[in-house]
Structure 1
Amino acid sequence: MTEVPAPASPTGLAGLPPVIFVTGTDTGVGKTITTAALATALPGTVSVYKPAQTGVGDGEPGDADEVHRLSGGATVSEGIRLLEPMAPVAAAARQDAALPPLADHVRHIEQLAAVSDHVLVEGAGGLLVELDGEGRTLADLAARVGNSGVVVVCRSGLGTLNHTLLTLEAIKARNLTAAGLVIGSWPRKPNAVEEDNLRYLQNLDAPFLGAIPQDAAALHPARFQAGAGDWFRLR
């Protein structure tokens, strides 16, 4: 497979806070691959936490395992693992499981932050997907963790501008920090819509950090690690 360069980032990762919440404008936009790329490209020690992993059973590889594989060994952990490929509240109800309270997630993130230069927290779905039985979301979790910011992973194609702007508006309304935007899958041959979307996203107030090449997950981990810095213009 030939690795295709993604659009260069004008800002890189130098301004990212110690704790980074990785969310998406939708499900399946490339949060896990972006998290793996960030875990690879960020300097120093990096820990990755997935508060709620759904759609996998015991012993099956989940998102955190994929981050570990591609990044070459980032420290990863999960809050809870649920079998059904649904939002955490619905998946937990299906198997009569109790979701961890938000305080448990905060405590774990703070413990990781005490021993890591960066902590990446990958959400489930979008910013306002509920994480516990009290209606609290990834946005609520981010609001409880100091020295943090939210990286939004978005699509390249039609519809992404509205979804991205809505997510950024929700971040602003909750007094959170929009730490950056990443296109989760940049096509080998972008069309006119994608090229225009790229220019638009690069000129928003939120820093445009970069883009992950299409099918980056299929790269050998060594090639993934070698390329990650370029996707964020670090090398």
Structure 2
Amino acid sequence: MSSVLVITGTGTEVGKTMTTAAVAAAALAAGRSVAVLKPAQTGVLPGEPGDADEVARLAGAVTSVELARYPEPLAPATAARRSGLAPVRPAEVAEAAGKLATDHDLVLVEGAGGLLVRFDDEGGTLADAARLLDAPVLVVTSAGLGTLNTTELTARELRSRRLDLLGVVLGSWPNDPDLASRCNLTDLPVVAEAPLLGALPEGCGGLLPANFRAKASSWLAARLGGTWNAETFRAP
């Protein structure tokens, strides 16, 4: 992996934080130092744990950094405007990630919502930060009906911006997958034009941290430091 990896989703609640934690845990298990950067945390009050804190709880000894926090659960630009607080701008994200990369083997930048969610009123997004960093992007998506459209749209946008789509991870693989979910294992790499690089089991965030760390590598493909195999996973 590159020293900086940007992690985005096809929307909210698709498993970005769990995927970030799994990638961090796998890297730590391989002896790498890891930093997790959350540019904009929304919907969390001061003193409450945010996404970066959750990654640290599950993955272990990571450096967790949050650039801005806004109390309302809204897009960062909207939340910043309503709170009267300064927005986060892509250049700030890139600068912070670059500094972390000087003394960490891997920096994971976890976005808020999807790729084009706005950080500021000028239209700055996570995609802009990825371009400034020249960093690959990992897309986290859902397993079931509707995911093909949102995944393809995200992949097309990344390609239109000449950003490197590393691959796609299913952020929550259901315990009892339906027909659409099973078919999507074959169709997602096709529409994304990128490999399927993992599938996290539904509810894995409820595991004890020690169990999460022990199992994280089995949910991720070799390109993310794991042992998961897409062909084996697809087999009936």
Q: TM-score, normalised by structure 1?
A: 0.90
Cα deviations across residues 47-68 of structure 1 (Å, max 9, x unaligned)?
A: 1000000000110011011000
Q: The residue matched to 1:144 in structure 2 has which SS? A: helix
- Select 1:32's aligned residue among 10, 14, 17: 17
- Post-superposition offset of 1:104: 1.8
Aligned twin of 1:182: 169
Cα deviations across residues 145-191 of structure 1 (Å, max 9, x unaligned)?
A: 03x10000000000000110000000000000001100000011111
Q: The residue matched to 2:214 in structure 1 has which SS? A: helix
Aligned twin of 1:86: 74
Q: The residue matched to 2:162 in structure 1 has which SS? A: coil
* Percent sequence identity over aligned pairs: 49
- The number of aligned residues is 219
CA RMSD of aligned residues (A): 1.2
Matches within 5 A, 1:94-105: 94-105=82-93
Letter of the aligned partner of 2:110 in structure 1? E
Provide structure 1 residue ranges, at least 5 long, that are not aligned to the other structure: 1-15
Q: The residue matched to 1:189 in structure 2 has which SS? A: coil
Distance 1:171 1:157, change over 3 A: same
Letter of the aligned partner of 2:187 in structure 1? Y
Aligned twin of 2:34: 46
- Post-superposition offset of 1:202: 4.1
- Post-superposition offset of 1:208: 1.3
Aligned twin of 1:172: 159
The structure whose RCO (Cα within 8 Å, separation 6+) is larger is 1
Aligned twin of 1:120: 108
Provide structure 2 residue ranges, at least 5 long, that are not aligned to the other structure: 228-236
How many Å separate the matches in 2 of 1:193 and 1:150? 25
Give the structure with the larger helix fraction: 2
Cα deviations across residues 19-44 of structure 1 (Å, max 9, x unaligned)?
A: 11110001110000000001111241
Q: The residue matched to 2:77 in structure 1 has which SS? A: helix
Aligned twin of 2:195: 207
- Post-superposition offset of 1:205: 2.7
Aligned twin of 1:13: none
